[in-house]
Amino acid sequence: ATRPYDDANVFAKILRGEIPARRVYEDEFALAFYDIAPQAPVHLLVIPKGAYVSWDDFSARASEAEIAGFTRAIGHVAREHVGSGYRLLANTGSDAGQEVPHLHVHIFAGAPLGPMLA
Ligand code: 5GP
């Protein structure tokens, strides 16, 4: 079961413009910005504009338009910021170590990344 969405989470505040972020892309469905604690030379986060706690919540509840729009935004941002490839990651739930309860997809790039990030 997914927790209820918490409007006070940090990415909700970034979406509302209440706290700053190094924004790189925005459209009707998605916002992308740099991670504050990068784990690769390029480390971006892409979040949907809708109130979804996680990938689990989003994939179950989002509309076709939101799913398509978010997916295309991730691809667009990755293409714009990436040289020879990239890695996508969506930590989902506490076992995966998800820290911020608003769906975010990490884009890691800018160097050979090795088999997996810890
Ligand atoms: P998670 O562990 O939930 O998959 O990832 C959360 C990510 O959000 C972490 O990589 C963390 O560095 C990043 N993060 C947390 N707070 C902020 C913030 O206020 N601004 C930005 N840009 N990134 C943040």
Q: How many domains does the chain have?
A: 1
Model pLDDT for residues 21-45, shown as the tens digit of each residue: 999 999 999 999 999 999 999 999 9
Output the six-digit token pair for 113.
Answer: 């990344």
ipTM higher than 0.90? yes
Range of the domain at 86: 10-109
Looking at the DSSP bridge assignments, the partners of residue 108 are 43, 87
Examine residue 49 and state whether it is found in any structural domain, yes or no: yes
> Nearest-CA neighbor of 47 among 58, 59, 31, 63?
31
Mean pLDDT of the chain: 95
Examine residue 70 and state whether it is found in any structural domain, yes or no: yes
Examine residue 16 and state whether it is found in any structural domain, yes or no: yes
Ligand 1 atom, smallest distance to 33 CA: 22
**Residues within a 6 A CB radius of ligand 1:** 10, 21, 33-37, 91, 97-100
pLDDT of residue 117 exceeding 80: no
